[in-house]
Amino acid sequence: MKTRLKNTKMFGLLVALLFVLAGCGQPRLSVLHPAGEVADKQFFLLMLSIGIMLLVIVVVVLIFLFAMIKFRRKKLGEDFEPKDVEGNHKLELVWTIIPVILLIILAIPTVMLTFSLGDTKAIDKVDEKGKSKELVIDVTANLYWWEFSYPNEKIVTSQELVVPTDKKVYFRLHSADVKHSFWVPAVGGKMDTNVEGINKFYLKFDDKKAKDVKNLFYGKCAELCGPSHALMDFKVKALPKDDFDKWVKDMKSVDKPVAATSSQAKEGEKVFNKSCAGCHAVTPTGEGAKGPNLTNFGDRELIAGYLNHDEKNLKKWIKDPESIKPGNKMAGKYKVSDEDIDALSAYLMERKVDK
């Protein structure tokens, strides 16, 4: 009776687990929905190793079941004494050679892909002006936000990486404080961002797969880095080449900060320059600022990487960032009144470059 109850509980647990697992595989951020050349290759390795492991498990379980059923004491009698066997060359060869073959099958594509996916020599091919011919993006990871700098295009953006589809995009990864890790699960990765040294790799965003997710992928920090590590998200806008070129042009064209229009926004600009400009740039090349570049803040999908992008959340963020992202580097560094916050939000929502 008791075991039956236990069995029912176990069954219930397994069903619940199935539902939880069914939630895996959201196309925007799942390794199981590869959306580009790199992700495809990594997915192939994943499936190959899982396939080999399953094969081993199935064969071992079958042999185990066979032995269990065939050599039951009931069948052989209570007094049966099994024969002592010492050493069996044939069997020993079989269980040495088969694993070696399996390991070779796994090792060859793994080593080949490790080298080909790590091939970033193209970054160093430069034209006469010293510009790389490839699209290169310098990624700086910070507690708990991301900066993306495009050295050839001379633009900087934060929290939202913008890339063209169907083209290799080369990344140089670096961290400003502690070790983080750059990961766009559906497209590839992950690779550590270190304080010392630069890690390099490339990704390719498939145009058709990008359209399936309305050109938006999710990215994550994949290295436990502090209390708000789980909130250190970023977004990737993967645009067709023409749209990407237009975005670059739009970004570059704001060589002066966009003028504030409403009187509230003008008031906000004053407060911003006094209390916030020490950390936040509102120019396209605002590199090296202590906080995210806010030039195109109005175009972002989210606030601080994960809050819905609306004025209510923006006000909440400015009023008390600590309550939203514990341990972030903006909290407690300024003093503004509720009126100031209203004005600041009006000003920040106007920071757009998307024309």
Which positions lie near ligand HEC, rule CB under 6 A?
A: 144-145, 158-159, 275-276, 278-280, 290-292, 297, 300, 303-305, 317-318, 325, 328-330, 333-334, 336, 344, 348
Q: Among ligand HEC, Cu ion, none, what does residue 180 contact (CB within 5–8 Å per kind)? A: Cu ion
Q: How far apart are CA 163 and CA 304, in angstroms?
A: 20
161 part of the interface to Cu ion, by CB under 5 A:
no
Which of 219/286 has CB closer to Cu ion?
219
- Please give the single-letter amino acid code of residue 265: A
> How many angstroms separate the CA atoms of 221 and 230, rounded?
8
Q: Between residues 37 and 299, which has the closer beta carbon with respect to ligand HEC? A: 299
Nearer to ligand HEC, 185 or 291 (CB): 291
Coil, strand or helix at 177 = coil
Does residue 173 belong to the site contacting Cu ion (CB under 5 A)?
Answer: no
225 binds, among Cu ion, ligand HEC, none (CB under 5 to 8 A by kind): Cu ion
What does 159 interact with, of Cu ion, ligand HEC, none (CB < 5 to 8 A by kind)? Answer: ligand HEC
State the minimum distance, in angstroms, from the CB of residue 175 to Cu ion: 8
Cβ distance to ligand HEC smaller for residue 134 or 138: 138
Of 249 and 290, the one with the shorter C-beta distance to Cu ion is 290
Give the whole-angstrom CA distance, residue 134 versus residue 151.
11
CA proximity to 295, closest of 199, 187, 166, 160: 160
Sequence-ordered strand ranges (E) for 151-301: 155-158, 160-164, 168-175, 180-184, 188-193, 199-204, 216-221, 233-239
Residues 231-270 binding Cu ion (CB under 5 A) are 232
**3 state DSSP class of 199:** strand
CB of 301 to ligand HEC, least distance (A): 10
What are the residues whose beta carbons fall under 8 Å from the beta carbon of 192, sequence distance 6 or more?
173, 179, 180, 181, 182, 199, 223
Q: Which residue bears the tokens 């806010």?
A: 294
Minimum Å distance from CB 107 to ligand HEC? 41
Question: Does 191 engage in binding with Cu ion (CB under 5 A)?
Answer: no
Q: Write out the residues near Cu ion by the rule CB under 5 A.
A: 180, 221, 225, 232
